[in-house]
């Protein structure tokens, strides 16, 4: 078993991480009496115990440097029913691209990073050139495209359809994929 110590400023991040891993890795709350040693999580009587050391590895990967592209508007054909598939519709794409940015930070040279404009144009082109029934399939396609064509360690992609469900501003999906999983 692995216990992780949680600092107060990281509580939201680790809590979210553990919640997402709950189904996969049997993460659960543990009484304080079971916690010993220096590797434990604590915040206002919140204790978490994990059965696999994978949580520590994942936490390191997720906290690496990231490039963020927000609300990229792309037009494509997506939908299950014919009215949606008859004409292209606007989709909002949010990208978080995980990679080491320390070289670019030290050199201040664009060649040491990824050009945000290039990525944005490539993603918009992929959306307009492909046709999917579900936003899940589109998000998965975009993750594979980015991980295969750019020096990234992982991607988080959110694809949203504005005003497609009544009483909402937009609906969509968010996925996270690692290069090691493609």
122-172 tens-digit pLDDT: 999 999 999 999 999 999 999 999 999 999 999 999 999 998 788 888 999
The confidence score (pLDDT) of residue 83 equals 84
First-to-last C-alpha distance (Å) of the chain? 28
Burial bucket for residue 81 (CB in 10 Å: 0-12, 13-18, 19+): exposed
Q: Measured between alpha carbons, how far is 182 from 177 in angstroms, rounded to an integer?
A: 8
The confidence score (pLDDT) of residue 30 equals 45
Q: Measured between alpha carbons, how far is 107 from 102 in angstroms, rounded to an integer?
A: 9
Burial bucket for residue 95 (CB in 10 Å: 0-12, 13-18, 19+): buried
Residue 57 has pLDDT above 80, yes or no: no
Question: Whose structure tokens read 């054909």?
Answer: 77
Which residues are registered as beta bridge partners of 170?
162
Q: Measured between alpha carbons, how far is 41 from 7 in angstroms, rounded to an integer?
A: 8
Average pLDDT over residues 88-108: 95
Q: Measured between alpha carbons, how far is 105 from 101 in angstroms, rounded to an integer?
A: 6
Which residues are registered as beta bridge partners of 75?
90
Of the two residues 139 and 39, the one the predictor is more confident about is 139
Residue 86 has pLDDT above 50, yes or no: yes
The confidence score (pLDDT) of residue 85 equals 87
Residue 31 has pLDDT above 50, yes or no: no
167: left (phi over 0), alpha (psi -120 to 50) or beta: left
Query: E strands within 82-153?
Result: 89-98, 131-132
Least confident of 20-29, 35-44, 68-77: 35-44
Most confident of 2-6, 34-38, 66-70, 109-113: 66-70
Which residues are registered as beta bridge partners of 111?
none
Residue 37 has pLDDT above 70, yes or no: no
pTM, full prediction? 0.66
Domain boundaries, the chain: 8-62, 66-181
Most confident of 9-13, 46-50, 92-96, 168-172: 92-96
Of the two residues 3 and 153, the one the predictor is more confident about is 153
CATH of 66-181, picked from 2.30.30.40, 3.30.200.20, 3.40.50.720, 3.30.1130.10, is 3.30.1130.10
């Amino acid at each position: 078993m692995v216990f992780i110590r949680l600092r107060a400023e990281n509580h939201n991040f680790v809590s979210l991480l553990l919640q997402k891993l709950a189904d996969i890795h049997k993460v659960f709350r543990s009484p304080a009496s079971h916690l010993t040693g220096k590797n434990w999580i604590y915040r206002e009587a919140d204790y978490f115990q994990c059965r696999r050391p994978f949580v520590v590895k994942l936490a390191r990967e997720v906290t690496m440097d990231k490039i963020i592209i927000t609300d990229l508007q792309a037009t494509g054909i997506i939908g299950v029913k014919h009215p949606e598939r008859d004409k292209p519709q606007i989709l909002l794409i949010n990208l978080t691209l995980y990679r080491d940015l320390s070289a670019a930070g030290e050199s201040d040279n664009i060649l040491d990073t990824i050009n945000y404009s290039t990525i944005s144009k490539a993603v918009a082109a992929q959306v307009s050139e492909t046709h999917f029934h579900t936003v899940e399939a589109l998000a998965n396609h975009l993750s594979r495209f980015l991980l295969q064509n750019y020096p990234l360690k992982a991607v988080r992609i959110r694809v949203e359809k504005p005003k497609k469900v009544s009483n909402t501003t937009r609906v969509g999906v968010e996925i996270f994929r690692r290069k090691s999983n493609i």
